[in-house]
Chain A
Amino acid sequence: MMDWLGMPVAASAHAGDVDRLMVLVHWLMLVLFVGWGGFLLYVLVRFRRSAQPVAMHKGMRGSWSTWIEGGILTAEVILLAFFSIPTWSARVDAFPSEQQSTVVRVVAEQYAWNVHYPGPDGLFGRTDLALLGPSNPLGLDRSDPAGRDDITTINQMHFPVDRPVIVHLSSKDMIHSFALPQMRVKQDAIPGLAQPVWFTPTTTGQWEIACSQLCGLGHYRMRGFYTVESTAEYEAWLAEEAAFLLEQ
């Protein structure tokens, strides 16, 4: 009953809530459309000119249309109050603690996702606009002790499975939108604003990050990649990146 909408695999803890509401609201739409559509067809056949040469001045009697309208309103209120608002509130109000989560910074720019992991010390290094350069798109200050071990990538993210992820989103230039379709996550990255977003991946796999806001001529190719993997694989990846950092 859940997959007739053809959505991407649901691979995060809250995806089920989103999909459940999606399916419910589409059932409501389908029922209304089929119901009214049936009525329309019936009326068009029954009251065509040849079958009904003289119209009824009064037409439909009774107040069941009010009941239908009331019913739609009730259904909408239920969807809103018991499904949409609680799920939303869990997304934006109930952030997990940073200690128990994988914390990442993502800085969007035309047309790439700059990814910033805090490294083993768990602290993000200082960043500064003045340090921006082709090899340092984040403007990360490597002389800052907290920044020495930071891991940066472009368009590549890795998450350990079954552990909450907190992404601190921002943008250097335009508005972008950070979408992870399989996580049911999408959040605008707006310059001048810090936008945190969190989710818990529950299935391992390799998918894509899609930019969902028109951000210029390269918008269509602002594509990143993310991997959800076991904690061991994730640690291995981090170690590999750290080693790569030492080489430089």
Chain B
Amino acid sequence: MRFFKYLVSTDHKVIGLLYAGTSLCFLLIGFALVLVMRWQLAYPGEPVPLVGGLFGVANAPGGIVLPEFYNQLGAMHGTIMVFLGVVPLAVGAFGNYLVPLQVGAHDMAFPRLNLGSYWFYLAGGLVMLASFFVTGGAANNGWTSYAPLSDLAPGHGQTLWLVGMGLIIVSSLLGAINVITTIVQLRAPGLTWFRLPFFVWAQFITSFLLLLAFPALQAAAILQGMDRLVGTSFFLPSGLAVSGQALNVAGGGSALLWQHLFWFLAHPEVYVLILPALGIVAEVIANNTRKPLWGYRSMVYSVFVLGFLSFIVWAHHMFLTGMGTTISAFFQATTMIISIPSVIILSALMLSLYGGSIRFTTPMLFALGFLPMFGIGGLTGLPLGLATTDVPLHDTTYVVGHFHYLVAPGTLFALFAGIYYWFPLATGRMMNDLLGRVHFVGSLVCMNLIFMPMFVQGLAGVNRRLWDGGEQYAHAQSVLSLNVTMSMAAFGLAFFQLFFMVNLFMSLRGGRVVGANPWQATTLEWSTESSVRAYRDPYVYSLPGAAADFVPQDQPAEPS
């Protein structure tokens, strides 16, 4: 019954670890789904080896993935990765575990809400998974669930998707309230705002985004639920005819309403995916260069600007829905402007390396790998953000490449860096360095082999979400063989994750035992005092004249 005790603990560390375990499982599931898709894309219409028989005749007769099943896999891969994998790991796990420690608090401000947040998350995740087993299978309308397609989708998959999202939204709201209150109220004595580690700032803004953006999707989900269950037509315009049959609804709705509500959430959501990652990378870089972050303040101001602007760029996902010059100019302009704070943060991180004494530890490798990967992902956002160049690129694999560079070798690498870096904090043991290095090199190579060809295909005009990977299209022929390359690399990526998984489980029991502050870090989470007080800025490394090359935040000033 020890396990049960963990499930009802209100200790932020336990909840953080529960979040970590659960979200890693979801990451693995999301990855497994995409591996099936990658098989189908490389070898359209050929039975999936080994596991093909497990999907059932309704989905994959003879192991051959049906188009409707492919769409389920795509929609659920996106949903699971974003809402059940990365965000819960970045915010639920890292945020829960580290924010109270880094601000020197004993727990979150509302421990019971915190546990509630985990339960809602778990429930939402289970509903999503269960939806694979209802008739018609899981939601298959893309993670974006555009109406009318999702409105009119038969079966219960889409309805369960809405229910699952509802639960996840509640979970995020509870979590966000908790994180913000903790940071505002429970900062240790002496820990002024500008002494907060950058990671805390990133979590702070992230929580505001979750708090204020998610309700839009909540509203959208309510409206779509009504359309599906009660027969309203909020998203159904008049005069619809499906399969040659005029649809018997009141009509008068708007298909674009869904897109506005969805992207009002989903654009801030993408910054929810990246900000905690930037926070982790900043911590790891400061620690492993043994010097303060360069431009800490400008980084903090930039996250604020980023957070604010992220609410007014959403329609850059909708340039091709029929936009006049003025509106498109507005959203292009905001999109270009929002790239500047990202550039500032990235520049600050890069310049922080200058003059350092760089230790190439495993967490540092992942953090360093993050930088150019984020660079590629961010830079490829620019042609998408200019409406004119978005015309040929919209809904091609170029877009898929753009955001995967940000979320996979970007955010995932940052999360790996965080896991390797804080593992000793949670367990008192180190993870294996050699396995970690193999994991890094293998992942870096494979990630680029998966996602770089997407730009090539996208520029050639190959669309995304194609069951056969574009096999039918003449303009895709010259770049079609890349599908095989990408899929091989995806299987290679899976292979290199084994090193991580083995490492993780092995180190839990067999890792090298280390002391309280193995990385010789300065921030408060490494403090062993039972009640802490902050005396200085977060990253006081290599201070001339100091006894050690690091001065922890809670070390009292030497009497002079």
The answer to A–B direct touch (Cβ < 8 A) is yes
Main secondary structure on A side of the interface with B: mixed
B382 at the A/B interface (Cβ < 8 Å)?
A: yes
Given that A29-B382, A181-B475 are known contacts, is A18 also in contact with B148, CB under 8 Å in the complex? no
B256 at the A/B interface (Cβ < 8 Å)?
A: yes
When each residue 48-72 of chain A gets 1 if its CB lies under 8 Å from chain B and 0 otherwise, what string results?
1100111111111000010011001
Which residues of chain B come closer than 8 Å to A132, judged between CB atoms? 241, 244-246
Which residues of chain A come closer than 8 Å to B254, judged between CB atoms? 192
Interface locus among A148-156, A219-227, A235-243:
A219-227
B38 at the A/B interface (Cβ < 8 Å)?
A: no
A172 to B474, CA, bound (A): 27
Looking at the complex, which one of B321, B336, B359 makes contact with A80 (CB distance below 8 Å)? Answer: B336
Given that A6-B459, A7-B392, A69-B347 are known contacts, is A191 also in contact with B240, CB under 8 Å in the complex? yes
**B545 and chain A: residue at smallest CB distance:** A57
Bin the interface of chain A by size: 35 or more
**B471 and chain A: residue at smallest CB distance:** A220
B292 at the A/B interface (Cβ < 8 Å)?
A: yes
A246 at the A/B interface (Cβ < 8 Å)?
A: no
Chain B: interface residue total (CB-CB under 8 A) = 98
Q: Could you tell me if A207 and B237 are in contact, using CB atoms closer than 8 angstroms?
A: no
For B149, B245, B340, the residue with the greatest tally of chain A CB atoms inside 10 Å of its CB is B149
B560 at the A/B interface (Cβ < 8 Å)?
A: no
Which residues of chain A come closer than 8 Å to B321, judged between CB atoms? 188, 190
Q: Could you tell me if B238 and A192 are in contact, using CB atoms closer than 8 angstroms?
A: yes
Q: Could you tell me if B289 and A47 are in contact, using CB atoms closer than 8 angstroms?
A: yes
**A186 and chain B: residue at smallest CB distance:** B391
B134 at the A/B interface (Cβ < 8 Å)?
A: no
User: Smallest CB–CB gap between A58 and chain B, Å?
Assistant: 7
A-B residue pair count with CB separations less than 8 angstroms: 286
Q: Could you tell me if A59 and B294 are in contact, using CB atoms closer than 8 angstroms?
A: yes
Besides the known contacts A29-B382, A55-B355, A195-B322, 9 further A-B residue pairs in the complex with CB atoms under 8 A apart: A8-B475, A17-B388, A40-B353, A76-B340, A76-B382, A87-B388, A92-B323, A92-B328, A192-B255
B residues adjacent to A (C-beta < 8 A)? 66-68, 71, 140-142, 146, 148-149, 152, 237-246, 253-256, 289-292, 294-295, 320-325, 328-329, 332-333, 336-337, 339-340, 343-344, 346-348, 350-360, 368, 371-372, 375-376, 379-380, 382-383, 386-389, 391-392, 394-396, 456, 459-461, 463, 465-468, 472-475, 479, 541-544, 549
A residues adjacent to B (C-beta < 8 A)? 5-8, 17-18, 21-22, 25-26, 28-29, 32-33, 36-37, 39-40, 43-44, 47-49, 52-60, 65, 68-69, 72-73, 76-77, 79-80, 83-85, 87-89, 91-93, 109-110, 129-130, 132-134, 137, 139, 172-175, 177, 179, 181-182, 184-188, 190-193, 195, 207-208, 210-221, 223
Report 30 cross-chain contacts, Cβ distance below 8 Å, ordered by A residue.
A7-B392, A8-B460, A8-B475, A22-B389, A25-B382, A47-B356, A48-B358, A55-B541, A55-B549, A57-B541, A60-B354, A80-B333, A83-B388, A88-B388, A129-B239, A129-B241, A173-B242, A174-B148, A174-B149, A174-B152, A187-B322, A190-B321, A192-B255, A193-B237, A211-B463, A217-B467, A219-B467, A220-B465, A220-B468, A223-B473
Q: Closest 6 CB pairs between A and B? A: A192-B237, A56-B355, A181-B461, A55-B357, A55-B542, A29-B379
